[in-house]
Amino acid sequence: FRSAHSGDVAQYEMFFEALKRTCPVPMEFEQIESGAKGYYHQLERRIALQAGMSQLQTIKTAIHEMAHQKLHAIDPKENISEMPEQSRNSKEVEAESVAFTVCQHFGIDTSDYSFAYIAGWSHGKETPELNASLQTIRKAASEMITDIESRMLELQKERDAEIALPEKDAVSY
């Protein structure tokens, strides 16, 4: 899925479109002043991605933010005080681990970046907390992979149908 050095991702447009269709909130590019590569906006319920990144970084960041949305979004209707408080470190480790796992499945290797990122956020985590996170990560990654694959199939069918259409419009008038 990925070419060795350029940060290009094979079928990038189609894969990114599949991510957008999988994601339940809007995803858009912008200039992020903080220097972050992306973020999930809890109140506006949208994902922002830094414009102008490599294809690899864009895909990885999109999946990381989709994981935050899936795992850590706060429903305004829910009573937040009842939810167990999860540390920022724990949330970042989960989101990046999901992104790494989903990317690996599609042959996109983010290990150099993801491992350093996860090591930076997971310093001093306790084993029971880590075990709970691993179950969460495995389930979220599995669900996202299934969703993305079905969107890719959908896009491939749409593309095949477009190719199969005869050029009747040009002739009809």
Listed ranges 96-100, 114-118, 129-133, 162-166; the one with the highest mean pLDDT: 96-100
Q: What is the pTM of this model?
A: 0.81
As a whole number of angstroms, the distance between CA 96 and CA 88 comes to: 12
- How many alpha carbons fall within 13 Å on the CB side of residue 29? 9
pLDDT in tens, 120-171: 887 776 666 777 788 899 999 999 999 999 999 999 999 998 888 766 555 5
Average pLDDT over residues 74-86: 64
Q: Could you give the CA distance from residue 43 to residue 46 in angstroms, rounded to a whole number?
A: 8
pLDDT in tens, 52-68: 999 999 999 999 999 99
Three-state SS string across 147-165, please? HHHHHHHHHHHHHHHHHHC
